[in-house]
Amino acid sequence: MPATTADKRIAFKKMHESGCFILPNPFDVGSARALQHLGFKALASTSAGFAWTIGKADNRVTVDDVCNHLTALCAAVDVPVNADFEGGFAIEPGRVADNVARGANTGVAGLSIEDSTGDAAKPLFEFKLAVERIEAARKAIDANNSGVLLTGRCEAFLWGQPDLKMVIERLQAYSGAGADCLYAPGIKTKEEISAVVKAVAPKPVNLLIGASGLSLSEVADLGVRRISVGGSLARMAWAGFMKAAKEMAEKGTFTELANGYSGGELNKMFK
């Protein structure tokens, strides 16, 4: 019997109580079902990976685009889905709250709000406003007792501001504002990771891993609760596609097509 939305949300929160798990990022319904087939117990959307599937750049999708995408993902799998909800698709806390309410209604088990502005000259929202945005998201989630897990993200490292003290101050404030999980994409060293984990304890921490040498067991030893990979799986899919397509376009040959995944295996998986 398919899991209900309530079941998924309860299971997702339980996963954050102990241990460390991988939260891979599908970019469409097919990749979500494939990851569930491989045994992953929860999934997370990727803003970049999804944007590329509809021919847009990252951070150029609309709240309508994302909510439709999240609804499809949640309906396609029986495991919890965490939403990359970017910055809430608004600046003002009240509008963030409205959009978060929409996001929660898609069936997601978790949802993240980041503090980046998209403006390289002033990449992060002013501290007070950033905290108020998390508070607004918390209130929107709690308004109907949805049970959605809220993640507060500090994007400083991704925007060229690798100030760990500032990142920790923000994450602690987001925790106080109601975030259930904390996330600072871009931190990489064991020292940085440990510092963040200790600073926000006992709240769980999400770690972004791209091509890092750190393993699941090493990250678990640092106290991290969950690992996501952002747009990395989408980029891997595009790598194979572009390599084969460029060969056809530039050489008129088709040798790369021999490296494709078995169609028969895909049909078995999606049967």
Residue-wise pLDDT for 136-161, tens only, equals 999 999 999 999 999 999 999 999 99
- Residue 152 domain boundaries: 5-230
CA distance 188 to 87: 22
Q: Report pLDDT digits (tens) over 230-246.
A: 999 999 999 999 999 99
Helices and strands of the chain, counted as H and E runs? 11, 8
CA distance 36 to 125: 36
pLDDT at site 5:
98
Does residue 210 register a pLDDT over 90?
A: no
Confidence of residue 2 (pLDDT cuts 50, 70, 90): confident
The reply to whether 71 and 149 lie within a common domain is: yes
The reply to whether 134 and 247 lie within a common domain is: no
Report, as an integer, the average pLDDT of 64-75. Answer: 98
Find the farthest-apart pair of alpha carbons in the chain and give their distance in angstroms, rounded: 59
The reply to whether 250 and 171 lie within a common domain is: no
CA distance 193 to 188: 7
pTM greater than the 0.85 cutoff: yes
Confidence of residue 213 (pLDDT cuts 50, 70, 90): confident
The reply to whether 12 and 132 lie within a common domain is: yes
The reply to whether 132 and 186 lie within a common domain is: yes
The reply to whether 190 and 75 lie within a common domain is: yes
Which SS3 state, helix, strand or coil, does residue 143 take? coil
Report, as an integer, the average pLDDT of 84-106. Answer: 98
Share the mean pLDDT of the chain. 97
For position 35, which CATH number holds?
3.20.20.60
- What does each C-alpha distance from 23 to 16, 27, 41, 92, 186 come to in angstroms? 11, 13, 8, 29, 17
The reply to whether 221 and 260 lie within a common domain is: no
The reply to whether 30 and 138 lie within a common domain is: yes
Burial class (CB in 10 A: 0-12, 13-18, 19+), 41: middle
The reply to whether 140 and 100 lie within a common domain is: yes
The reply to whether 65 and 136 lie within a common domain is: yes
Burial class (CB in 10 A: 0-12, 13-18, 19+), 100: buried
Domain count, the chain: 2
Does residue 7 register a pLDDT over 90?
A: yes
Confidence of residue 1 (pLDDT cuts 50, 70, 90): low
The reply to whether 92 and 14 lie within a common domain is: yes
Classify the C-alpha dihedral 65-97-118-201 as positive or negative. Answer: negative
The reply to whether 196 and 239 lie within a common domain is: no
